[in-house]
Amino acid sequence: AQSVTQLDSQVPVFEEAPVELRCNYSSSVSVYLFWYVQYPNQGLQLLLKYLSGSTLVKGINGFEAEFNKSQTSFHLRKPSVHISDTAEYFCAARGSQGNLIFGKGTKLSVKP
């Protein structure tokens, strides 16, 4: 079955610390991979995407992700987080119906 797994439902971190949000995908999904961010009571905004090429993908707001085919992972990282990064983050893969298959989300809470 096609699936995307986000290993942490909540990640608390202090301001200016580094953070990694983990994502694994099943081998049955395409390797078109995405990270979206959702701020409270808002819609989804694309952070970054991997389609092909370099395995290190840079996105908006200082985020980056690394595609690892052997580990079927697409972890999201930021070297120094800000209070404003507090949000829910979703990893997704393109499914066979042209849709996105989402993980269940990781709530990042940045504390001062």
Which amino acid would we find at residue 63? F
35 counts as binding other proteins under rule CB under 8 A = no
Out of 11, 21, 34, 65, name the contact with other proteins by CB under 8 A. 34
Nearer to other proteins, 15 or 95 (CB): 95
Find where tokens 């370099």 sit.
54
Counting every residue written for the chain, the total comes to 112
How many chain residues are in contact with other proteins, going by CB under 8 A?
A: 22
Closest by CA position to 34, among listed 61, 67, 9: 67
Q: How far apart are CA 34 and CA 110, in angstroms?
A: 22
User: Kind of pairing, strands 87-94 and 56-58?
Assistant: unpaired
Binding part of the chain for other proteins, among 20-28, 44-52, 58-66, 68-76 by CB under 8 A, reads 44-52
CB of residue 112 to other proteins, shortest distance in Å = 26
Give yes or no for residue 105 binding other proteins (CB under 8 A). Answer: yes
Please, are residues 44 and 55 in contact by the beta-carbon 8 Å criterion? no
Which residue, 10 or 80, has its beta carbon nearer to other proteins? 10
Q: Is 70 helix (H, G, I), strand (E, B) or coil?
A: coil
Positions in the binding site for other proteins (CB under 8 A): 9, 32, 34, 36, 42-46, 49, 51, 90, 94-95, 97-100, 102-105
